[in-house]
Amino acid sequence: MDAAIRYESVIKRFGEQVVLDGVDLAIERGRITFILGKSGTGKSVLIKHAIGLLRPDEGRVLIDDEDITRLPDRDLRRVRIKFGLLFQDAALFDSMSVFENVAFPLVEHRRLRPDRIAEVVRAKLGQVGLEGVENKYPAELSGGMRKRVGLARALALDPEILLYDEPTTGLDPLMVEQINALIADTQARQRGTSVVISHDIPSAFVLADRVAVLAGGRVAACGTPEEVRASEHPFVREFLAAGLSERLRPGQ
Protein backbone atom coordinates (compact mmCIF):
# COMPACT_ATOMS: atom_id res chain seq x y z
CA MET A 1 0.00 0.00 0.00
CA ASP A 2 1.13 3.55 -0.71
CA ALA A 3 1.18 4.88 2.84
CA ALA A 4 1.41 8.56 3.75
CA ILE A 5 1.88 7.61 7.41
CA ARG A 6 3.11 4.28 8.65
CA TYR A 7 3.27 3.14 12.28
CA GLU A 8 5.40 0.06 12.90
CA SER A 9 5.07 -1.69 16.27
CA VAL A 10 4.82 1.67 18.04
CA ILE A 11 4.98 1.54 21.83
CA LYS A 12 4.47 4.66 23.94
CA ARG A 13 4.44 4.80 27.71
CA PHE A 14 3.88 7.63 30.12
CA GLY A 15 5.46 6.43 33.35
CA GLU A 16 3.77 3.14 34.18
CA GLN A 17 0.93 3.69 31.74
CA VAL A 18 1.31 1.97 28.38
CA VAL A 19 -0.82 4.05 26.00
CA LEU A 20 0.31 2.58 22.67
CA ASP A 21 1.16 -1.09 22.96
CA GLY A 22 2.41 -2.10 19.52
CA VAL A 23 0.47 -0.08 16.96
CA ASP A 24 0.82 -1.24 13.37
CA LEU A 25 -1.08 0.98 11.00
CA ALA A 26 -0.65 2.28 7.46
CA ILE A 27 -2.60 5.39 6.50
CA GLU A 28 -3.27 5.15 2.79
CA ARG A 29 -2.37 8.12 0.64
CA GLY A 30 -5.16 10.02 -1.07
CA ARG A 31 -7.92 8.69 1.17
CA ILE A 32 -9.91 9.57 4.27
CA THR A 33 -9.06 7.38 7.23
CA PHE A 34 -11.05 7.56 10.43
CA ILE A 35 -9.34 6.50 13.65
CA LEU A 36 -12.02 5.54 16.14
CA GLY A 37 -11.73 4.68 19.79
CA LYS A 38 -13.09 5.49 23.21
CA SER A 39 -11.99 8.62 24.97
CA GLY A 40 -8.54 8.21 26.51
CA THR A 41 -7.42 5.31 24.30
CA GLY A 42 -4.52 7.21 22.77
CA LYS A 43 -5.93 8.64 19.54
CA SER A 44 -4.41 12.07 20.07
CA VAL A 45 -1.16 10.50 21.26
CA LEU A 46 -1.11 8.50 18.03
CA ILE A 47 -1.42 11.50 15.73
CA LYS A 48 1.10 13.49 17.77
CA HIS A 49 3.62 10.82 16.77
CA ALA A 50 2.96 11.59 13.10
CA ILE A 51 4.16 15.17 13.47
CA GLY A 52 6.99 14.38 15.86
CA LEU A 53 5.36 16.09 18.85
CA LEU A 54 5.77 12.76 20.63
CA ARG A 55 8.32 10.06 19.91
CA PRO A 56 7.82 6.33 20.38
CA ASP A 57 9.64 4.40 23.08
CA GLU A 58 9.85 1.50 20.65
CA GLY A 59 8.93 1.01 17.00
CA ARG A 60 9.03 3.42 14.09
CA VAL A 61 6.97 6.15 12.46
CA LEU A 62 7.40 6.84 8.76
CA ILE A 63 6.06 9.78 6.81
CA ASP A 64 6.21 9.33 3.03
CA ASP A 65 8.50 6.38 3.73
CA GLU A 66 10.92 8.55 5.68
CA ASP A 67 11.68 7.30 9.18
CA ILE A 68 11.09 10.28 11.49
CA THR A 69 11.45 8.33 14.74
CA ARG A 70 14.78 9.89 15.63
CA LEU A 71 14.79 12.84 13.29
CA PRO A 72 16.35 15.90 14.93
CA ASP A 73 13.94 18.72 15.75
CA ARG A 74 15.41 21.01 13.10
CA ASP A 75 14.53 18.46 10.40
CA LEU A 76 11.02 17.91 11.76
CA ARG A 77 10.06 21.37 10.51
CA ARG A 78 10.37 20.07 6.95
CA VAL A 79 8.13 17.12 7.84
CA ARG A 80 5.55 19.15 9.79
CA ILE A 81 4.99 21.46 6.87
CA LYS A 82 3.37 18.52 5.06
CA PHE A 83 0.57 18.55 7.65
CA GLY A 84 -2.44 20.69 8.27
CA LEU A 85 -3.86 20.32 11.76
CA LEU A 86 -7.33 21.00 13.03
CA PHE A 87 -7.60 20.53 16.77
CA GLN A 88 -10.77 19.97 18.73
CA ASP A 89 -10.97 23.51 20.09
CA ALA A 90 -9.74 24.97 16.76
CA ALA A 91 -6.85 26.48 18.80
CA LEU A 92 -7.20 29.94 17.29
CA PHE A 93 -5.16 32.84 18.56
CA ASP A 94 -7.73 34.90 20.47
CA SER A 95 -5.80 38.15 20.19
CA MET A 96 -5.62 37.87 16.41
CA SER A 97 -8.33 38.59 13.87
CA VAL A 98 -9.64 35.86 11.59
CA PHE A 99 -7.44 37.27 8.83
CA GLU A 100 -4.33 37.19 11.01
CA ASN A 101 -5.09 33.66 12.19
CA VAL A 102 -5.31 32.29 8.66
CA ALA A 103 -2.34 34.38 7.49
CA PHE A 104 -0.17 33.17 10.37
CA PRO A 105 1.31 30.04 8.74
CA LEU A 106 1.92 31.96 5.53
CA VAL A 107 3.82 34.68 7.36
CA GLU A 108 5.79 32.04 9.29
CA HIS A 109 6.68 29.74 6.42
CA ARG A 110 6.40 31.58 3.11
CA ARG A 111 7.94 34.70 1.75
CA LEU A 112 4.93 36.29 0.13
CA ARG A 113 3.95 39.85 -0.60
CA PRO A 114 1.12 41.17 1.56
CA ASP A 115 -1.30 41.32 -1.36
CA ARG A 116 -0.56 37.68 -2.19
CA ILE A 117 -1.11 36.68 1.46
CA ALA A 118 -4.46 38.47 1.42
CA GLU A 119 -5.38 36.61 -1.74
CA VAL A 120 -4.58 33.21 -0.22
CA VAL A 121 -6.39 34.03 3.04
CA ARG A 122 -9.51 35.01 1.11
CA ALA A 123 -9.34 31.88 -1.03
CA LYS A 124 -9.00 29.60 2.01
CA LEU A 125 -11.83 31.33 3.85
CA GLY A 126 -13.95 31.01 0.72
CA GLN A 127 -13.15 27.32 0.53
CA VAL A 128 -14.61 26.76 4.01
CA GLY A 129 -17.64 28.90 3.24
CA LEU A 130 -16.65 31.98 5.23
CA GLU A 131 -16.80 35.45 3.76
CA GLY A 132 -16.79 38.89 5.32
CA VAL A 133 -15.49 37.78 8.72
CA GLU A 134 -11.82 38.61 8.20
CA ASN A 135 -11.81 41.46 10.69
CA LYS A 136 -13.69 39.64 13.41
CA TYR A 137 -12.03 38.05 16.42
CA PRO A 138 -12.49 34.40 17.48
CA ALA A 139 -14.60 35.39 20.51
CA GLU A 140 -17.14 36.96 18.15
CA LEU A 141 -17.70 33.74 16.22
CA SER A 142 -19.86 30.66 16.81
CA GLY A 143 -18.20 27.30 17.53
CA GLY A 144 -18.84 26.11 13.99
CA MET A 145 -17.36 29.27 12.49
CA ARG A 146 -14.27 28.99 14.66
CA LYS A 147 -13.83 25.47 13.42
CA ARG A 148 -14.04 26.72 9.83
CA VAL A 149 -11.42 29.37 10.53
CA GLY A 150 -9.23 26.63 12.05
CA LEU A 151 -9.67 24.57 8.90
CA ALA A 152 -8.88 27.57 6.66
CA ARG A 153 -5.68 28.06 8.65
CA ALA A 154 -4.86 24.35 8.39
CA LEU A 155 -5.27 24.63 4.61
CA ALA A 156 -3.16 27.77 4.24
CA LEU A 157 0.03 25.96 3.21
CA ASP A 158 -1.77 23.44 0.96
CA PRO A 159 -0.80 20.48 3.15
CA GLU A 160 -0.49 16.97 1.75
CA ILE A 161 -1.95 15.46 4.89
CA LEU A 162 -4.81 16.88 6.94
CA LEU A 163 -5.21 15.77 10.53
CA TYR A 164 -8.52 16.44 12.21
CA ASP A 165 -8.62 15.72 15.94
CA GLU A 166 -12.27 15.29 16.97
CA PRO A 167 -13.57 17.87 14.50
CA THR A 168 -17.22 17.43 15.45
CA THR A 169 -17.09 16.64 19.15
CA GLY A 170 -19.31 19.01 21.11
CA LEU A 171 -21.12 20.40 18.06
CA ASP A 172 -24.86 20.17 17.54
CA PRO A 173 -26.10 17.65 14.93
CA LEU A 174 -26.65 20.26 12.21
CA MET A 175 -23.13 21.55 12.68
CA VAL A 176 -21.78 18.00 12.65
CA GLU A 177 -23.32 17.55 9.19
CA GLN A 178 -21.79 20.82 7.98
CA ILE A 179 -18.31 20.01 9.22
CA ASN A 180 -18.55 16.50 7.77
CA ALA A 181 -19.55 17.97 4.41
CA LEU A 182 -16.57 20.30 4.65
CA ILE A 183 -14.20 17.40 5.37
CA ALA A 184 -15.52 15.52 2.33
CA ASP A 185 -15.36 18.64 0.14
CA THR A 186 -11.83 19.44 1.30
CA GLN A 187 -10.69 15.91 0.54
CA ALA A 188 -12.24 16.09 -2.95
CA ARG A 189 -10.48 19.38 -3.69
CA GLN A 190 -7.08 18.74 -2.15
CA ARG A 191 -6.87 15.09 -3.18
CA GLY A 192 -4.49 14.66 -0.30
CA THR A 193 -4.65 12.37 2.67
CA SER A 194 -7.09 13.02 5.51
CA VAL A 195 -6.96 11.47 8.95
CA VAL A 196 -9.94 12.05 11.19
CA ILE A 197 -9.77 11.17 14.86
CA SER A 198 -13.26 10.67 16.12
CA HIS A 199 -15.65 8.79 18.28
CA ASP A 200 -18.51 9.63 15.97
CA ILE A 201 -19.12 6.20 14.47
CA PRO A 202 -22.03 7.14 12.16
CA SER A 203 -19.93 9.91 10.55
CA ALA A 204 -17.05 7.50 10.06
CA PHE A 205 -19.20 5.04 8.19
CA VAL A 206 -20.50 7.76 5.89
CA LEU A 207 -17.24 9.57 5.16
CA ALA A 208 -14.37 7.14 5.55
CA ASP A 209 -12.56 5.17 2.88
CA ARG A 210 -10.76 3.33 5.66
CA VAL A 211 -11.50 2.90 9.36
CA ALA A 212 -9.13 1.90 12.14
CA VAL A 213 -10.39 1.13 15.65
CA LEU A 214 -7.95 1.70 18.49
CA ALA A 215 -8.43 -0.32 21.67
CA GLY A 216 -6.11 -1.49 24.41
CA GLY A 217 -3.20 0.35 22.81
CA ARG A 218 -3.51 -1.50 19.53
CA VAL A 219 -5.40 -1.44 16.26
CA ALA A 220 -8.28 -3.80 16.95
CA ALA A 221 -9.73 -3.55 13.45
CA CYS A 222 -8.73 -1.82 10.25
CA GLY A 223 -10.08 -1.78 6.73
CA THR A 224 -12.95 -0.45 4.68
CA PRO A 225 -16.05 0.53 6.67
CA GLU A 226 -17.69 -2.72 5.52
CA GLU A 227 -14.72 -4.79 6.68
CA VAL A 228 -14.64 -3.11 10.08
CA ARG A 229 -18.38 -3.48 10.46
CA ALA A 230 -17.93 -7.21 9.88
CA SER A 231 -15.13 -7.49 12.46
CA GLU A 232 -15.44 -10.38 14.89
CA HIS A 233 -13.29 -8.63 17.50
CA PRO A 234 -15.48 -8.48 20.65
CA PHE A 235 -14.39 -4.96 21.61
CA VAL A 236 -15.02 -3.67 18.10
CA ARG A 237 -18.49 -5.21 17.99
CA GLU A 238 -19.41 -3.73 21.35
CA PHE A 239 -17.93 -0.34 20.50
CA LEU A 240 -19.77 -0.13 17.17
CA ALA A 241 -23.05 -1.28 18.66
CA ALA A 242 -22.88 1.32 21.42
CA GLY A 243 -21.86 4.12 19.04
CA LEU A 244 -24.49 3.41 16.43
CA SER A 245 -27.31 3.43 18.95
CA GLU A 246 -26.13 6.73 20.46
CA ARG A 247 -27.49 8.80 17.57
CA LEU A 248 -30.88 7.15 17.93
CA ARG A 249 -31.37 8.37 21.47
CA PRO A 250 -34.21 10.88 21.77
CA GLY A 251 -33.04 14.47 21.71
CA GLN A 252 -29.82 13.72 19.80
Ligand X SMILES: Nc1ncnc2c1ncn2[C@@H]1O[C@H](COP(=O)(O)OP(=O)(O)O)[C@@H](O)[C@H]1O
| Residues of this chain that bind ligand X (CB under 6 A) | 14, 19, 37, 39-45
Cα R_g (the chain), whole angstroms: 18
Q: Minimal distance in Å, beta carbon 206 to ligand X?
A: 21
Q: Which does 85 bind (CB under 5 to 8 A by kind): ligand X, Mg ion, none?
A: none
Q: Minimal distance in Å, beta carbon 116 to Mg ion?
A: 35
Nearer to ligand X, 87 or 99 (CB): 87
Q: Minimal distance in Å, beta carbon 116 to ligand X?
A: 37
Binding track, positions 24-43, relative to Mg ion; x by CB under 5 A:
-------------------x
- Rule CB under 5 A: is residue 44 a binding residue for Mg ion? yes
- Rule CB under 5 A: is residue 198 a binding residue for Mg ion? no
d(CA 46, CA 49): 5
Q: Which does 33 bind (CB under 5 to 8 A by kind): Mg ion, ligand X, none?
A: none
Binding site for Mg ion (CB under 5 A): 43-44
